[in-house]
Amino acid sequence: MPAFLRSIATALPDERISRAAWAGIADRITPPEVDRAVLGRLAERSGIEERGCAAAGAGAEFYPSPADGPPPGTAERMALWSRTARILSARAASGALERAGIDSSRITYVITASCTGFESPGIDAHLVEALGLPRTCRRLNVGFMGCHAAVNALAAARDAVLADPGVTALVCCAEVSSAHFHRSRRLDQLVANTLFADGAAAAVVSAEPAPADAPPAGTILASHGVLIPDSADEMRWDVGNHGFEMTLGARVPDILREHVGAWVRGALGEHGIDPADVGGWAIHPGGPRVIDAVAQALQLPEAATRASRGVLGSCGNMSSATLLAILDRLAGAGVPRPWVGLAFGPGLAGEMIVVR
């Protein structure tokens, strides 16, 4: 019995900012000694035209300029994450249930993912309350794994369905990256400020296919993961006194270019799939250079990266929610399967999902 990816739905904050609006925020929160031309180049090269930014709705006092006061502490940032993640997760999960044609009472397993905040009871318990899910459903939170956590969550859902065909799993990824803008001179933190965005995405996974009048997203054939050697310090995500702190090594695209090709070809070969046979690619847009590196490693045509670049441009890098958003775009465009989703995070780790 296969594990069907029955539906995907996304949710973005009401607070949306353009590239120009981001330039104003970046100018306000960045130390004065940082060349503003650098900020402009980073924004231009990001490929992001618009993104969700809950912090923008919190007002300028949330991220004051260095002259106006200290940056928010971790507790204040967690409060912003909690408010926003609860709203976005409920919207995305409701949309996924509606698209799947499944009543909330049928959910037996809730799997959530977020790396931008912590609290307990968490988003999983909130969804039980907000959506009227059974209070007896199992709950699992995939925490702090980073941008590839959607694959880990979907893999857990698939495993549960294959172990028990009676399982109907709701997967939800919710990220509030704007809770972690940093007042920093470090280039990698300036890059992180520029790239990351807020959003949520949810999916329903079950042994039962979608109804005939709803196009199914396919079946989750497999997932694969890899820890790339000698790369642990190239990408890190740590808890600091002023929010979570991202470390992004300049070598990340080069490392991916070197290692991704052999890993992906080997994993797909286990299922008799050649990269040339893949109908749709969902490459997590850690940034334009990451997309370029993966495409070069796999010798993909420009068209294969269109969905990833489109989501990056209109939504930014929403961490774990982004991969599901790209898969949703492939489904909406009627892109033929199989699809391959690839995402990368601290470790340096790669995660892959194959949808047939």
Provide the pLDDT for residue 130: 97
For 155, residues 6+ apart whose C-beta sits below 8 A from its C-beta are 220, 223, 353
Provide the pLDDT for residue 1: 77
Provide the pLDDT for residue 262: 97
Provide the pLDDT for residue 22: 95
**Whether pTM exceeds 0.85:** yes
Give CA 74 to chain center in angstroms: 21
Give CA 114 to chain center in angstroms: 9
C-beta of residue 138 within 8 angstroms of C-beta of residue 112: no
C-beta of residue 26 within 8 angstroms of C-beta of residue 218: no
Neighbouring-strand partners of residue 28: none
Neighbouring-strand partners of residue 40: none
> In 3D, which of 354, 345, 349, 352 has the Cα closest to residue 115?
345
Residues forming CATH 3.40.47.10 domain(s) in the chain: 4-206, 220-355
Structure tokens belonging to residue 196: 């990351």
Model pLDDT for residues 70-124, shown as the tens digit of each residue: 999 999 999 999 999 999 999 999 999 999 999 999 999 999 999 999 999 999 9
Structure tokens belonging to residue 106: 């049928």
Model pLDDT for residues 144-165, shown as the tens digit of each residue: 999 999 999 999 999 999 999 9
Active-site positions?
147
CA 262 – CA 298 distance, rounded (Å): 9
C-beta of residue 138 within 8 angstroms of C-beta of residue 108: yes
Residue carrying the six token digits 């306000």: 28
Distance separating the N- and C-terminal Cα atoms of the chain? 14
Q: Does domain 4-206 have CATH number 3.40.50.2300?
A: no
CA 356 – CA 339 distance, rounded (Å): 6
- How far are the Cα atoms of 11, 102, 125 from residue 129, in angstroms, in the given order? 19, 17, 7
Neighbouring-strand partners of residue 355: 220, 339
CA 14 – CA 11 distance, rounded (Å): 9
C-beta of residue 279 within 8 angstroms of C-beta of residue 338: yes
C-beta of residue 211 within 8 angstroms of C-beta of residue 101: yes
C-beta of residue 238 within 8 angstroms of C-beta of residue 244: yes
Class of domain 220-355: alpha beta
CA 269 – CA 247 distance, rounded (Å): 33
CA 136 – CA 182 distance, rounded (Å): 40
- Burial (CB count within 10 angstroms: exposed 0-12, middle 13-18, buried 19+), residue 336: exposed
Per-residue pLDDT of the chain (356 residues; tens, 9 = 90+): 799 999 999 999 999 999 999 999 999 999 999 999 999 999 999 999 999 999 998 888 899 999 999 999 999 999 999 999 999 999 999 999 999 999 999 999 999 999 999 999 999 999 999 999 999 999 999 999 999 999 999 999 999 999 999 999 999 999 999 999 999 999 999 999 999 999 999 999 999 887 777 666 799 999 999 999 999 999 999 998 989 999 988 899 999 999 999 999 999 999 999 999 999 999 999 999 999 999 999 999 999 999 999 999 999 999 999 999 999 999 999 999 999 999 999 989 999 999 99
SS3 274: coil
Provide the pLDDT for residue 214: 67
CA 136 – CA 117 distance, rounded (Å): 25
